[in-house]
Amino acid sequence: MPDSSPLREDSASPWWRGGLRFSCRRCGGCCGREPGVVLFTDAEMAEMSSALGVGEGEFERLYVWRKYGLRSLRERANYDCVFLDGGGCVIYHARPAQCRRFPFWPEILKNKPSWDFYSRNCPGMDEGDLHDYEAIAGYLSKYEETGGGG
């Protein structure tokens, strides 16, 4: 577990111990605007391919590239995810775990100012369903276990 882990830093009492509210509004705001990497497992690629009705070879050719040495979903010139369109994510129900776990990522949960910073562009944060301590700790553990993908 890296030293920067929100689980390790304040494991006795992280600032989010009381849980956090979040329900995705599917606005697509977290799916672009700035450069990023969207990791996925082979099983997730199979799910995404199936959702689009294309073979995995075709999926890789059209929608995958290597960025920072990592296999990632492509992004457009404006940094939007290749699967973001005007109505949101076109593979929402088959999106990878990295996307499903947003905004419960280590860099967002590291402190309250970071959470507040990201919430300015996400209307789903601080609204909707309550995610309790156990759920958030589970997201973070899974993130650390997989390096963010899967």
Contacts with ligand SF4, residue ranges (CB under 6 A): 24-30, 102, 122-124
Choice between 29 and 46, CB closer to ligand SF4:
29
Choice between 19 and 60, CB closer to ligand SF4:
19
Kindly list the distances between the CA atom of residue 28 and the CA atoms of 35, 85, 102, in Å, as whole numbers in the listed order: 15, 8, 12
Choice between 46 and 92, CB closer to ligand SF4:
92
Q: Report, in Å, the least distance between residue 117 CB and ligand SF4.
A: 13
> From CA 133, how far away is CA 139, in angstroms rounded?
10
Choice between 37 and 54, CB closer to ligand SF4:
37
Residue written as token pair 């590291």: 110
- Residue 1 is classified by DSSP as -
- Residue 93 is classified by DSSP as G
* Contact by Cβ (8 Å): 79, 67: no
Structure tokens at 21: 């509210």
Contacts of 69 (CB under 8 A, 6+ apart): none
